[in-house]
Structure 1
Amino acid sequence: MKVGVISDTHGLLRPEAIAALQGCERIIHAGDIGSPHILDQLAAIAPLQVVRGNNDLAADWAAHLADCLQLDLEGWAGLLVHDIADVPTPLDPSVKLVITGHSHQPGIDWRGERLYLNPGSAGRRRFKLPVTLALLEVSASGIEPRIVSLLE
């Protein structure tokens, strides 16, 4: 299963992001969405799972969105939360994938058998950080993440 992971769009869904997400069977947004139109555009590509970020908290359109979601990707248990500081401790040992956003810094961090993934920010460039999202190839045998740069 091909899964697109995006975060920190802040109201901007770039054409490069839309192109990179084509063919995904699921899309996960890790918060700081910025506009309900972003969710509409992503849902037109694939089924969508989303949490709200700190910049979405005051938005009426985001009031129904969760702060934390349990994920099941081809039998792999996952957790989706905007800020890594909000990951519960201790974390259930069955959770093999933790997806966060917030920092705008993309990262793939294997800690033992658990993957911590931050897709970075796909919205407006912040400081000199890259503009990115992540793609996951998920199967019964494993999870293969990669970061996709949207701008050179």
Structure 2
Amino acid sequence: MTSRTHNSPATRIGLISDTHNLVRPEVLQYLAGCDAIIHAGDICKQAVLDALAQIAPVTAVRGNNDIDEPVALLSTHVKLTVQQVTILVVHDIADVVDDPRREGIDVVVTGHSHKPAISERDGVLFVNPGSAGPRRFKLPISAGLLIIEGAHASATFDSLVT
């Protein structure tokens, strides 16, 4: 019989994408209290990242609409490790390697589609928090949370505006 103990407290990471230069007060309220924030691209203006950085440290990638400096200088892929979980952040899921598990990736965070989704494939958690920016078609305005405890990661997303 084995017992599992978590020596470290949970890390709460706010997940957003596709803000398209819009920082909604609902998003700032949702992200309040997070230990870190991941922005999965289509930021458009540095002011978005500056506003998020008032809440927690921000990791961001460049999306297809991030054409003006300084956001145009962001990397298209970022890999980070939180506790014992390795996270790959990329704007478009089409840019993810075929077998992220072989690359040591535990969680993939994407954006681009504006459609919030959480799935697990071959032991890798895929999270798209949807769009926190301007409404597109009838898709929700949403953001997500990634909770990491040791080597375990779980994700949720919430609609922020009705």
Give TM class, smaller chain: over 0.9
Give 1:92 deviation, angstroms: 4.5
Counterparts of 1:37-48 in structure 2, within 5 Å, are 37-48=47-58
Give 1:141 deviation, angstroms: 4.6
d(CA) in 2 for partners of 1:61, 1:50: 12
Find the counterpart in structure 2 of residue 149 from structure 1.
Answer: 159
d(CA) in 1 for partners of 2:15, 2:65: 18
SS in structure 2 of the partner of residue 122 of structure 1 = coil
* C-alpha contact (below 8 Å) 2:44/2:71 kept by paired residues: no
* C-alpha contact (below 8 Å) 2:84/2:151 kept by paired residues: no
Note the alpha carbon deviations across 1:9-41, whole angstroms, 9 max, x for none: 000010000000000000000000021100000
> Are residue 140 (structure 1) and residue 113 (structure 2) matched?
no
Aligned residues with identical type, % of pairs: 46
SS in structure 2 of the partner of residue 16 of structure 1 = helix
> Are residue 68 (structure 1) and residue 77 (structure 2) matched?
yes
The alignment of Structure 1 onto Structure 2 pairs a total of residues equal to 151
Q: 2:45 aligns with which of 4, 11, 35?
A: 35
Give 1:118 deviation, angstroms: 0.2
SS in structure 2 of the partner of residue 80 of structure 1 = strand
Give 1:75 deviation, angstroms: 1.4
d(CA) in 1 for partners of 2:80, 2:99: 17
Unaligned runs of 5+ in 2: 1-10
Q: 2:97 aligns with which of 84, 88, 91?
A: 88
SS in structure 1 of the partner of residue 106 of structure 2 = strand
Give 1:90 deviation, angstroms: 3.6
TM-score, normalised with respect to structure 2: 0.90
Counterpart residue identity of residue 82, structure 1: H
Which contiguous aligned blocks of 4+ residues in structure 1 show a shift greater than 4 angstroms? none
Give 1:148 deviation, angstroms: 1.4
TM-score, normalised with respect to structure 1: 0.95
**Structure whose alpha-carbon radius of gyration is higher:** 2
Give 1:112 deviation, angstroms: 3.2
Give 1:91 deviation, angstroms: 2.6
Over the residues paired in the alignment, what is the CA RMSD in angstroms? 1.1
Counterpart residue identity of residue 107, structure 2: L
Note the alpha carbon deviations across 1:44-103, whole angstroms, 9 max, x for none: 1001100010000x2122232111001212110111000000112343422110010000
Q: 1:116 aligns with which of 118, 121, 126?
A: 126
Find the counterpart in structure 1 of residue 117 from structure 2.
Answer: 107
d(CA) in 2 for partners of 1:29, 1:143: 18
d(CA) in 2 for partners of 1:82, 1:5: 12
